[in-house]
Homo-oligomer: A and B are copies of this chain.
């Protein structure tokens, strides 16, 4: 038994948020459902795939208090397609009746055999951060998270808090993305590995928020609290590489190049490079970009650059460059090299708290 009335738009938006924790393929049927709780003047909706759990609340006129589990996909699809009016949900004897003006949907309730609820962490330490800053930290690093399940540690991002600084690092064996920022407060020195998928959902939630996000940290879990929305995530256990040791500090070749022109040139190079291989020849103040494909043909393109140091010939996988170049914002970037078998370090001209490392391909 349960009955409440909510606004269609608010209900639909809340379901969309909670649905980010729903996975369609799971042996645990209950996880395909939303857990709905109507108490006092509030409807709380929870989705949980055990790695990430999301709970969010909206105002509701609750006539009969109660809780229920309803198939997430069906409920989301129906609510999204209703007119923007009041929606009344009544649940009785396993049937869910959704009423809106002169229409009635009847769907089935799911059996609630122990839905894993999402609750605030009890022993957490909290750090506040502005959502726009957190969003940028993730946007500029998350693409370097691996999807290779044999390297579970690198399927997450390392988040380090050190006094008033926060570092976010992702690396996949071929490249490394590292962004840092300053914090207004400090919770001491802590570090955790947050699953890449969680980071992407957090990034999306940040885009709709204006108030500070509260990050709660425990040994095996972390939570992100955005107003009436709570996201709990498992932490990945294990040792992240000592990333600072991988990043060289001195370079024998350094060029300054127009970022957009370099992106356009690499983009064109993909047309004649099925394996995404591009060769760069740095000579005097020119960067010669070449690519070749037996079936299609050749590309040769010259970009003007400013060179400090030695000439160099080196080859890269184009995709590893483009991911980070596209999220940078400065007009010019610096690319730093030593030899054609050692990593290239890319830094935007002015955004000094961002570092991207990419390994060359042997030619």
Give me the interface of A with B, judged by CB distance under 8 Å.
Answer: 74, 77-78, 81-83, 96, 102-108, 264-265, 267-268, 271-272, 296-303
Contacts and interface: CB of A to CB of B under 8 A. Distances in A.
B106 A74 contact: no
B81 A267 contact: yes
A105 B301 CA distance: 8
A295 to B, nearest CB: 9
A296 B103 contact: no
B264 A303 contact: no
Given A77-B271, A81-B271, A271-B74, A107 B264 contact: no
A267 B103 CA distance: 13
29 contacts: A74-B271, A74-B297, A77-B271, A78-B268, A78-B271, A81-B267, A81-B268, A81-B271, A82-B268, A96-B297, A102-B301, A102-B302, A102-B303, A103-B265, A103-B301, A103-B302, A104-B298, A104-B299, A104-B300, A104-B301, A105-B268, A105-B272, A105-B297, A106-B297, A106-B299, A106-B300, A107-B272, A107-B296, A107-B297
A298 B303 CA distance: 63
A154 to B, nearest CB: 33
A168 to B, nearest CB: 33
B81 A299 contact: no
A103 B268 contact: yes
